[in-house]
Amino acid sequence: MPTDPPPIAPATALAAMGRRRFLLTGWPWRATAFALSTVPVALAAWVPLAVPALLWLLAVSPDAGLGERALLVVLGALLAAVLGPPVTLPLARLERRRLRLVDARPARSGHRRPSAPGFGPWLRTRCTEPATWRELGYFLLVAALVPVLYAALLAVLVFQFGAAAAPLILLGGDGPMALGPVKVATPADALPYAIAALVLLPAVPYLLALVAGAQAALARTLLQHGSGERLQAELVEVERSRARLVDAFDAERRRIERDLHDGAQQRLVALTMKLGLARMDLPPGSPAAEGVADAHREAKQLMTELRELVHGIHPRVLTDRGLAAALGELADRSTLPVAVDADLPGRPPHHVEGTAYFAAAEALTNAAKHSGAARAEVTARWDGGVLTVEVADDGAGGADPRLGTGLTGLADRVAVIDGRLLVSSPAGGPTVVRVELPCSLSEPPSA
């Protein structure tokens, strides 16, 4: 989480009030601008509230019965909930901008991004997130408090400027005039009030900054994302970065496989072929021929080992032909008879394919090694955004995924991409290992 550097300049109007020379900065003017521009905002906030407010007024009228009151209150609240957001959503955006007048810190929206394009998902997201309703609450408060607060503020200002100007007005002989509770008839009477008002004049900017600052603090609390939402956003980000890591890891494996295949493997095949040719040109039975024959055998052995190693890093057939073909090859390599039933209308993303493949490979290895199974079955399906790969064997069962088989590591890998690894292995069998990986499919597999 980024922490703000120690403030060199005050970030808000409230903070600026505590500084000397506050009156010489721009803050009083900014506070004034904020207070003035609040008036149209408050008016706009009243637009969706007019009808519900009327209902609430009726609810508190003396001649309404209890049931009627409750009904009116609920109805008003419902209307406010329906009519409010269309006005308060854009208004909140404006309000976060306007906040900069008295608060230099950025205010980020607490709204989530809709899960999918289109009006439906947008509406669902907006209705179910707290930010929308906090914004509505803010504007309800503004609509209710601003008229009262600003009326009082205006009265104070009128009184102060009236008092300051009173001696001059009375010199014109328009007396007597009322200064709030007192009446003054002559300039001389008015002079102490005028002096007091002039002495108190510097307090006006402080008063404005106080009002604007208080409102800004309220706006800040209600209009920007809360700590819970931030935590959620960060969690999502962490998950995404983990998925990115897995993706990168998988891409790296594919790159290593390709480099080995295009480099070492090709050269080894060419070398082995040369040794094979060299054998032919040596007299049979000579020591040289035997040596070259040995070398040829070694090279062939090495070719096999390297092919297995590279295949373990990432099977070429998986990159080239996709999951269904790779599962078929996996079945062919297994020491068990394995039936494969893979029916996928397209190709999952690479890292999902890889995870599914290695999970199936691990499950088949376990089936062949530990279960005493006579046969196994691999099924791959994609349905409703979830790829499901299932490996079933008719062995003795009793496999425990926690017993440090390779399945534990696979479960982690599966979890990272939001998938699930399920193992069912009752004593006496059968064992079923099932991987569910949420993903979308890309282009249909090449024919």
Report in angstroms how near the CB of residue 256 gets to other proteins at its nearest: 17
Q: Does 299 bind other proteins (CB under 8 A)?
A: yes
Q: At what angle do helices 227-260 and 350-370 cross, to 10 degrees?
A: 70
Q: Which is nearer to other proteins, 103 or 393 (CB)?
A: 393
Identified binder of other proteins from the candidate list 259, 274, 346, 385, rule CB under 8 A: 274
Identified binder of other proteins from the candidate list 69, 230, 307, 434, rule CB under 8 A: 307
**Can you say whether residue 378 is alpha, beta or left, with left for phi > 0 and alpha for psi between -120 and 50 degrees?**
beta
Report in angstroms how near the CB of residue 332 gets to other proteins at its nearest: 5
Report in angstroms how near the CB of residue 248 gets to other proteins at its nearest: 23
Identified binder of other proteins from the candidate list 277, 288, 309, 374, rule CB under 8 A: 277
Q: Does 256 bind other proteins (CB under 8 A)?
A: no
Q: Which is nearer to other proteins, 156 or 295 (CB)?
A: 295
* Helices and strands, number each (H, E), in the chain: 15, 7
Q: Which is nearer to other proteins, 104 or 278 (CB)?
A: 278
Q: Does 266 bind other proteins (CB under 8 A)?
A: yes
437's enclosing H/E stretch is strand 431-438
Q: Does 343 bind other proteins (CB under 8 A)?
A: no
Report in angstroms how near the CB of residue 48 gets to other proteins at its nearest: 59
Residues 415-434 that bind other proteins (CB under 8 A): none
The stretch near other proteins (CB under 8 A) out of 26-34, 68-76, 270-278, 349-357 is 270-278
Rounded Cα distance between 334 and 324, Å, is 15
Residues 16-45 that bind other proteins (CB under 8 A): none
Q: Does 295 bind other proteins (CB under 8 A)?
A: no
The beta-strand segments (E) located in 204-299 are none
Contacts of 368 (CB under 8 A, 6+ apart): 334, 335, 336, 376
50's enclosing H/E stretch is helix 50-60
Determine contact, residues 153/102, Cβ cutoff 8 Å. Answer: no
Q: Does 443 bind other proteins (CB under 8 A)?
A: no
Q: Does 221 bind other proteins (CB under 8 A)?
A: no
The stretch near other proteins (CB under 8 A) out of 178-186, 207-215, 260-268, 407-415 is 260-268
The 3-state DSSP class for residue 424 equals strand
Residue 382 CB: number of other CB atoms within 10 A?
21
Q: Does 329 bind other proteins (CB under 8 A)?
A: yes
Beta strands 420-424; 376-383: pairing state: unpaired
Q: Does 300 bind other proteins (CB under 8 A)?
A: yes
Residue (of 101, 94, 95, 99) closest to 27 by Cα position: 101
Contacts of 36 (CB under 8 A, 6+ apart): none
Contacts of 241 (CB under 8 A, 6+ apart): none
- Give residue 234's identity as a one-letter amino acid code: E
Residues that bind other proteins (CB under 8 A): 262, 266-267, 269-270, 272-277, 280, 296, 299-300, 303, 307, 316-317, 320-321, 325, 328-329, 331-332, 337, 446
